[in-house]
Structure 1
Amino acid sequence: MTTVASGARASATPSGQGVGPLLRAWRERRRVSQLELALRADSSARHISFIETGRSRPSEEMVLRLAEHLDVPVRERNALLLAAGYAPHYRETPLDDPAMDALRAGVERLIQGYEPYPALVVDAMYDVVAANRGIMMLLDGIPESLLAPPLNAMRLTLHPQGLAPRIRNLREWRGHLLSQMERQIALHRSAPLRELYEEVAAFPVPESAPESEPEEFVPYFALPLRIEHEGRTLSFISSISTFNTPMDVTVAELAIETFLPADPATVKYLHTRAG
């Protein structure tokens, strides 16, 4: 298993703005009216308007309540509190801090227990913080330059010297990954994430990229990742899990991605290798 400590990420919320304009920006991004937000937060449209224009200073509780109903990311909730003149509510603990020992151990047991199937853990920038042997198997033969830390899952997957030439349905899978990143950018408003998106979106699709259709039709129930390994085509369906109601910025930004074999041949191959 590979484990890498994750560094802190700077807030994407513009500095120098009061909490009112920031809350209005989040409300408009979520396409929620002042009245609808007021009803959700047990307030009034008048009070929401006063907060957004700076005529009223919201309490710490109100900032957190509005942020919750607007689905503001945990990191940005701290930024809203700071803009309102309050201390951050959510701590940000580095993954290598002793306080995270139980979390790291639990995550490691989880992805190890998923073997021989691939599983990994990434942070908000898609940097890999942990990966099991199923993932490392798929990386056989990748140039060392791409495997140097911090190992980035998006860069590694879409780079023309990375996994891209091995992915049988690259155009579909690439479109899926870029759409996923676009959703994250809209949610987090992260400049570094936008830079990563622009980098990987500019990677050329290898001329040898195969057609997306499998040789034999298989009724997949979700878009599969179809990837070559040692002359075989393996098929996986990915699933992403996050922590429920996190109270730490670092934990809130972790995602566990597991790859479920999508056909019996992939199951048999992985278990044969593991045995």
Structure 2
Amino acid sequence: MRTVGELLRQWRHRRRVSQLDLAIAADVSARHVSLVETGRSRPSAAMILRLAAQLDVPLRERNRLLLAAGFAPRYAERPLDREALPAAWDAVERVLRAHEPYPALAVDRRWNVVMSNRALAPFLAGVAPELLTPPINMVRLGLDPRGLAPHIVNLAQVRTLLRGRIARQLATAPDQELTALYEKFLAPRPEEEDQPVDSEIAIPMIFSFGGRELRLFSTTTTFGTPMDITLDEVSVESYYPADAESAAYFASPDAGVGTEAAAALVPELPSADR
């Protein structure tokens, strides 16, 4: 097991911060940072958390730092449900429901869906049932040939976008399971080149659905200053129409076609309408 000093040095190197810069940001001496990293000084729990905050260490990893130093974990990890985190559940539910008729979903750090709104269901109607067995993973769902991949017109561009995003996420907070997903679905291939996209707003996903092409771009929402590991790792992905034609589709009655059939395939998937 690595010492707290070794873990802190690893995070400092990952953030590309010098001992002096970290010391200035944390209002301590550079010598003290050096002593902590080399194990010649045992830091207090407060000092560990101060240094971790300046290094933007995820809450899950801050607990690991505390344990390595012999302290109890500081941050709880509760499921995102009405019993454990009622206020957070209600907040996510409101955001997802308010976003209808456009699709939105909440995902965890591994891109597993923890909640969705009803507008997502029609997009799942043709997906292989095995991909809809919880936990439903959005990377696998989007890029597997049995999932949404055949319907994404600009799949290479979407892969490029997602590759960069998850690579940055892994650089910030390494995770073995997410790394395995990256290697399976997103690792660069010799025959594939990253696809540039010209867009005035954001890179759209062009989706062939219902006999027409829908252009969607996404935004990401996270909890501010979370004190729970689950909330620290949850984000809401909201999709918006990127052109007038796509907006008109979602405003039409046809947008709801297939909702009941698709919802029946994923009865365990938490939905904002429950």
**Smaller-chain TM-score bracket:** 0.7 to 0.9
Instruction: Give distance in 2, aligned partners of 1:163 and 1:99.
Output: 33
Please, which of 40, 58, 71 is the counterpart of residue 73 of structure 1?
A: 58
Matches within 5 A, 1:71-150: 71-96=56-81, 98-150=83-135
Q: Describe the shift of the 1:81–1:90 C-alpha distance in structure 2 as closer, same or farther (beyond 3 A).
A: same
Aligned AA (1:256): V
Matches within 5 A, 1:55-74: 55-74=40-59
1:250 aligns with 2:230: yes
8 A Cα contact 2:82 2:90, kept in partner = no
Give the aligned partner of residue 224 of structure 1: 204
Give the aligned partner of residue 164 of structure 1: 149
Greater Cα offset, 22-31 or 87-96: 87-96
Instruction: Give distance in 2, aligned partners of 1:63 and 1:213.
Output: 42
Q: Describe the shift of the 1:176–1:43 C-alpha distance in structure 2 as closer, same or farther (beyond 3 A).
A: same
Aligned partner of residue 270 in structure 1, secondary structure: helix
1:202-229 Cα distance to aligned partner (Å, 9 max, x none): 799xxxxxxx899xxx853110011011
Instruction: Give distance in 1, aligned partners of 2:26 and 2:140.
Output: 40
8 A Cα contact 2:113 2:135, kept in partner = yes
Scaled by the length of structure 2, the TM-score of the pair is 0.86
Instruction: Give distance in 2, aligned partners of 1:135 and 1:97.
Output: 21
8 A Cα contact 1:160 1:203, kept in partner = no
Instruction: Give distance in 2, aligned partners of 1:220 and 1:271.
Output: 23
* CA shift for structure 1 position 102: 2.6
1:48 aligns with 2:33: yes
Aligned partner of residue 29 in structure 1, secondary structure: helix
Instruction: Give distance in 1, aligned partners of 2:204 and 2:141.
Output: 18
* CA shift for structure 1 position 98: 1.2
Please, which of 212, 221, 232 is the counterpart of residue 241 of structure 1?
A: 221
Scaled by the length of structure 1, the TM-score of the pair is 0.86
Structure 2: tracts of 5 or more residues without a match = 190-194, 257-274
Structure 1: tracts of 5 or more residues without a match = 1-15, 205-211
Aligned AA (1:56): S
Give the aligned partner of residue 21 of structure 2: 36
User: What percent identity do the matched residue pairs reach?
Assistant: 49
8 A Cα contact 2:218 2:240, kept in partner = yes
1:113-138 Cα distance to aligned partner (Å, 9 max, x none): 10001100000110001111221122
* CA shift for structure 1 position 145: 1.6
Give the aligned partner of residue 271 of structure 2: none
Instruction: Give distance in 1, aligned partners of 2:55 and 2:88.
Output: 28
Give the aligned partner of residue 21 of structure 1: 6
Aligned AA (1:232): R
Aligned AA (1:231): G
8 A Cα contact 2:163 2:187, kept in partner = no
